[in-house]
Structure 1
């Protein structure tokens, strides 16, 4: 079988590079000279004594003219500069030999939390440990690149063949190496990582940059389904990624154009049946596609970094709607607005809310701040805690949203001045027919009563659930069984209809005492 000239040239170049890179080569000069003298006398000796050092020097000068591969001082891995060019050369080699390769990208989950918890120096030690484990798990000829603080790329040296099943097994092995506990200050720390990979043959663009782009797309998909997820690149994944990028751009324009606004879902008092408040919820009325649910556009807004801007829009709509209802003579005690952790980390949040409330001439207790339970459960005494305390001191009510899903402690409930627990729908569904659900709701209501907290049940969908919650002493209910979210222009009609259907309390004639006998 003939060998192509390019392949022979590359092989010769690799051998020459390996030989000249060896630190033992200068020590071999005397042995080479002596061997040459024995075999060919003085002419060969002179040729070797002059020629070999000159050739070695020329190779070193040529190599010095090329930029050296930069390595990360912490892990010893190559840095990402020139990564695409190295992949390009590898792919060219694969095309000439009929071999193939695969690119993996691994990213540690919750990396920001790790850095905040342990500090930069400890995290560098962790990164070094993880890099050493990856090198141990793979072959010495495979390439490793540090692509970010917590992201590492792995490229296999050319293989005769590799399929998806084999690549998944290798990905799982890499992931398992990273998930072994790492000791920091003698304490074990458990780390998980997402991983995306792309077979070279499946990359849409058969270039180094194209393989990188496809692998990044697979990693992004794994992160969306993480922690600890593994995803392979596929054409469908690429199309979905393009659609998400397009949606991100479109949703940003929709927010500026006023297509995204607040819809309102009423909350009802179980004691009186009257409206105790309304919750403002973000909805997107697309001019062509109609109403788009929040689950479809909120991730795009978050990816675009526009959640704080969305909060400003919803707050403005909520307060203006409450003012309009007051003007029209409707008695709506309060409006609830959800605040994300990003908004709660704004040091000027309290100042902004004071200005907004004054702007609409409303009392602070007309605004309810809704905070997800996981934010309270995972928040130390920092700017978030101070902001919540400031808003409570201002007079705003504080609702703990999705209670039961975020593992907030009783200490957190007291520290954050929570006024009301919004019991998550997962506990409410079928509570009238499922004894286990009913026991869970009873426990939550009992705890809230002992802590002096009001309660609201989310996601009430049936008359049975509504009736049972009222009997159990839950203070308020909200859900599709009460009313679906509606635009501001529909609120007045719904409120009028609801108030008309509330049965007036029965008139009870006081019992008369026994007739007094007239005094003689």
Structure 2
């Protein structure tokens, strides 16, 4: 073999080995680049599912959570969990100190752990808890996004370099890399890195902002509150929080649509920006929940004045973007709380401050005042409310919510024509509690729906049992909350329960408070009441005469009975004015062929006067007090000769 031939063979062997190694490297780096791209896509899909869940939770807080919304929330939760499960498996072999491994695999607050909690939480949604976990998950994924992109970019570039090396040979590729690949690639990488940094910064800003108002969102609110508490502790001064909510925002949203509701939210944000100081923290934490946090010795007084000005400005008419809506006037309520933070407890102080502001707002709603400032005993009140809320949940689980029955009799004959079902809580320690002790908290927490369903089913069962014994042929009247009446499925659910008890819709009356009705015919309550009447349920307007549109309500749908409020009945025998008002309402009902029932009848003289006026039915302590089912049965047995309603 000549020297030249040997050299050529050696060169070919080197090239062959180089190409073989290059091909192996190409396969390895190509697979790595593919895996990096798939992980990035999985992360984007998981982030999209989490953001979709966030939108579902926002909708859940501003509207009744129907089956469709719950199903959508569950689907998004399953999507996020599946994507993050795949990502966690891909990260399992990484070093625990790897940034992505920490993001996905952390035991308590890793993205995978958060996704599992969200999947469990979607089965029985609690919007506030879901919201906290979603904010944490979205923050984790926003943190992972630039890392995934950088890994995908590096892996793709390495695979491309290896491919050129295998195709052109090691010596050639070295020269080509120097001239054609490395320089341009580095330039492109630098450009893309700069874009990634800008995109990451933009994503971080958006992750902390409410998209509707541009104010800080809940996640940013918590951080800003902690920062302000830390500054207040260093300055040895106080910090205060204001929470302001729009009255009946859910009704507004359902009646006028999301576009008008968003316009109202932006209007509130503009007013708060105009009234607050530059160093105050402003946020919209969800639905119609707005917060302002201020620091200083005068923070409480300043926020009180801010709330007064904001509420006054919101009450001024505002032109809706949708011309068919016309002018909008918004009513609002506010709660204010204060704290004196300590240097080592700023995080706890911030969280407690927001909880206290929520409690102050709840007190304003209960007392029907515009602004409430949490007193020194407010924290004890918060703890009492928390305990009662826990006990209420236990009461539902243990069937401690039960109906009590108050008879409704014919004014002329004394026959028992019906019973009103009234909710009671048989507390294991405090005995039987009337609604005044727990109803406001039940409505505020959303538990009123479950309590109402439980109480209604038991009342229907009792009525069916009395009918089966031949003791009773009248109607049982169910009290229904405004929240229940806004449920699109309410009519179907009630009809199902009535049929399940062996009754007909004609055997059941639905009592509706006038205060629950609004003038807008597109409100879900108006539609549901009309649907109830169409199915055959008897419709009763409770506390008639106290609403803002008593007579106009009689035109909106078929009303079978008005219940004259006890305020017009008590002391009737001693007040000529009350007698005239009661007579006018009874006359109105008779002219419209509607039954009139007088509530709160307590004396024989009141009963006599109402009977002479032509009132159809009577109810009150003067007839009988509310009683549990077994005592109501005894009442019917004792009056057996006079039963059988016409």
Q: Is the TM value for this pair above 0.5?
A: yes
1:120 matched to 2:286? The reply is no
**Does the residue aligned with 2:631 lie in a helix, a strand or coil?**
helix
**Does the residue aligned with 2:383 lie in a helix, a strand or coil?**
helix
Hey, what does 1:90 align to over in structure 2?
228
Distance 1:452 1:181 in 2: 39
For residue 131 of structure 1, report the CA deviation from its aligned partner.
Answer: 2.9
Distance 1:419 1:449 in 2: 11
**Matched-pair contact (CA < 8 Å) for 2:514–2:544:** yes
For residue 71 of structure 1, report the CA deviation from its aligned partner.
Answer: 3.9
**Matched-pair contact (CA < 8 Å) for 2:471–2:640:** no
For residue 184 of structure 1, report the CA deviation from its aligned partner.
Answer: 2.7
**Any residues of structure 2 matched to 1:196-345 within 5 Å, and which?**
196-201=335-340, 206-226=345-365, 229-345=370-486
Comparing 277-286 with 123-132, which one deviates more in the overlay? 123-132
Hey, what does 2:332 align to over in structure 1?
193
Q: CA 1:110/1:228 → structure 2, altered by over 3 Å: closer, same or farther? A: farther
Q: CA 1:273/1:190 → structure 2, altered by over 3 Å: closer, same or farther? A: same
For residue 476 of structure 1, report the CA deviation from its aligned partner.
Answer: 0.5
Distance 2:233 2:369 in 1: 33
**Matched-pair contact (CA < 8 Å) for 2:338–2:353:** no
Distance 1:221 1:99 in 2: 21
CA offset digits 1:340-395 (Å, max 9, x no partner)? 33444445545444544444444543222222223445562565455444543444
Q: CA 1:418/1:287 → structure 2, altered by over 3 Å: closer, same or farther? A: same
Comparing 356-365 with 466-475, which one deviates more in the overlay? 356-365
**Matched-pair contact (CA < 8 Å) for 1:84–1:209:** no
Distance 1:98 1:363 in 2: 68
Q: CA 1:122/1:434 → structure 2, altered by over 3 Å: closer, same or farther? A: same
**Matched-pair contact (CA < 8 Å) for 2:420–2:478:** yes
For residue 410 of structure 1, report the CA deviation from its aligned partner.
Answer: 4.2
**Any residues of structure 2 matched to 1:352-501 within 5 Å, and which?**
352-378=493-519, 380=521, 384-385=525-526, 387-408=528-549, 410=551, 412-498=553-639
**Matched-pair contact (CA < 8 Å) for 2:240–2:299:** no
CA offset digits 1:24-76 (Å, max 9, x no partner)? xxxxxxxxxxxxxxxxxxxxxxxxxxxxxxxxxxxx99x97995584445544
**Matched-pair contact (CA < 8 Å) for 1:336–1:370:** yes
Distance 1:293 1:353 in 2: 24
Gaps of 5+ in 1: 1-59, 503-520
Q: TM-score, normalised by structure 2?
A: 0.61
**Does the residue aligned with 1:81 lie in a helix, a strand or coil?**
helix
CA offset digits 1:294-322 (Å, max 9, x no partner)? 11122333344333333332333223322
Hey, what does 2:318 align to over in structure 1?
182
CA offset digits 1:239-276 (Å, max 9, x no partner)? 21222222122122222322221111111111112211
Gaps of 5+ in 2: 1-196
1:162 matched to 2:301? The reply is no
1:105 to 233, 243, 253: 243
**Does the residue aligned with 2:272 lie in a helix, a strand or coil?**
helix
Q: CA 1:184/1:212 → structure 2, altered by over 3 Å: closer, same or farther? A: farther
For residue 449 of structure 1, report the CA deviation from its aligned partner.
Answer: 1.1
Comparing 397-406 with 129-138, which one deviates more in the overlay? 129-138
Distance 1:390 1:73 in 2: 37
Distance 1:169 1:382 in 2: 34
Give 1 or 2: higher helix fraction: 2
For residue 208 of structure 1, report the CA deviation from its aligned partner.
Answer: 4.1
Q: CA 1:255/1:204 → structure 2, altered by over 3 Å: closer, same or farther? A: farther
**Matched-pair contact (CA < 8 Å) for 2:449–2:483:** yes
Aligned length in residues:
441
Q: CA 1:387/1:165 → structure 2, altered by over 3 Å: closer, same or farther? A: closer
Comparing 306-315 with 452-461, which one deviates more in the overlay? 306-315
Hey, what does 1:131 align to over in structure 2?
269
**Does the residue aligned with 2:377 lie in a helix, a strand or coil?**
helix
Q: CA 1:448/1:81 → structure 2, altered by over 3 Å: closer, same or farther? A: same
For residue 100 of structure 1, report the CA deviation from its aligned partner.
Answer: 4.0
Distance 2:506 2:596 in 1: 17
1:150 matched to 2:288? The reply is yes
